[in-house]
Amino acid sequence: MRPATVVAEPAKLIRFVEKIEAVGTGNARESVVISANVTERVRSLHFKDGQSVKKGQILAELDLSEENADLAQARARLKEAELQLDRVQQLVGRGYATRASLDQRTAERDAARATVESIQARINDRVIRAPFSGIAGLRNVSPGLIISAGTALVEISDISSIKLDFTIPESFLSQVKVGQEVEARVSAFNNELFEGRISAIDPQIDPVTRSASVRALIDNPELRLKPGMLMTVGIIRQQREALAVPELAVIAEGTQKFVYVVNEDGNSVSRTRIITGERQPGFVEVTGGLQPGALVVIEGTVKLRDGAPVKLLKSADAAPQVAEAETTRS
């Protein structure tokens, strides 16, 4: 009989990663819309669109001419009140002034100090600072514009890490926990893999959808991920290594599965029954009937029978290997 030309590969160890799949949306770690507390004219802006800002950095200043004048006047009154209080204290010490006079001057000093603090608070309302470090969005106002209280100036977002929010069916709730590893893929980066961990699980179940909300944190040191991105999430349930063969090698006859194993002489094959387990993209788990490193035919099986002579077109190293594949649940 003329030898059949075949291609064979070794049965090898595959890393099986069992996952729960979901779809989620990325959100900034912290995000706030900066707005004015008062109605006033914008005097100056101290940031550019998309600029990195530090906590406490001045973002905008509103007109302060009236407040600065009031503050100067209030400070002068405070200074005078403090001088009057010092004089009365000296007179009381010598017995030339009453205690009631001292109390009156003390009250005047305290009232003047409170006035200064009140005006300073008004000035602080007109000097707008970043509440945390982050990235400034697109500004919505220009210098010279009169804005009212509550007018949005700009949004500041901290995207040093991304909050990934998604939902899972309640049937999977017992299989997830805080600290569990997750993997996220983003189509904007050709499904590049980003790793994170579950940070919180909502204790409430949605009674309509019977799903639970889950939040994961993903480090974003290069600031590539953006809030609002759609991500495919995989919650890693279990990882294990198991023997597997390429899907093309498996021949199904009813409920039974077979492969053709190249014999030690390399010139013939044996039809071998195997017991299969999980299926992975391109691979089938073998739970029985085969040893690691056994050469199995992956191309040319239709021309074979038990004991048939073969000619190997090419073959991989027969040593056991470890590769990766995934099992998903959704």
Q: What is the DSSP letter of 142?
A: -
Structural domain spans, the chain: 4-18+241-329, 20-29+157-239, 40-63+127-154, 65-125
Question: If you classify domain 4-18+241-329 with CATH, what class do you get?
Answer: mainly beta
C-alpha dihedral, 113 to 116 to 121 to 123, nearest 10° = -170
Tokens coding 62? 């509103």
Q: Would you give per-residue pLDDT tens digits along the chain (330 residues)?
A: 688 888 999 999 988 877 888 999 999 999 999 998 888 899 999 999 999 999 999 999 999 888 889 999 999 999 999 999 998 888 888 878 788 888 899 999 999 999 999 999 889 889 999 999 999 999 888 999 998 988 899 999 999 999 999 999 998 888 899 999 899 999 889 889 999 999 999 999 999 999 999 999 999 999 999 999 999 999 887 778 889 999 999 999 888 999 999 998 888 999 999 999 888 778 999 999 999 999 999 988 888 888 889 888 865 544 334 444 455 454
CATH class of domain segment(s) 40-63+127-154 = mainly beta
Angle, vertex CA 259, rays to CA 329 and CA 322, nearest 5:
55
| CATH architecture of the domain covering 65-125 | Orthogonal Bundle (1.10)
Instruction: In whole angstroms, give the CA distance from residue 128 to residue 132.
Output: 12
Rounded to whole angstroms, the Cα distance separating 294 from 268 reads: 13
Contact status, residue 200 vs residue 68, Cβ threshold 8 Å: no
CA atoms within 13 A on the CB side of 100: 0
Same fold: 4-18+241-329 with 20-29+157-239? no
pTM to 2 decimal places: 0.64
- Domain at 20-29+157-239: CATH architecture: Beta Barrel (2.40)
Nearest to 292 by CA among 329, 323, 268: 323
- Cα atoms in the Cβ-side hemisphere of radius 13 Å centred on 268: 9
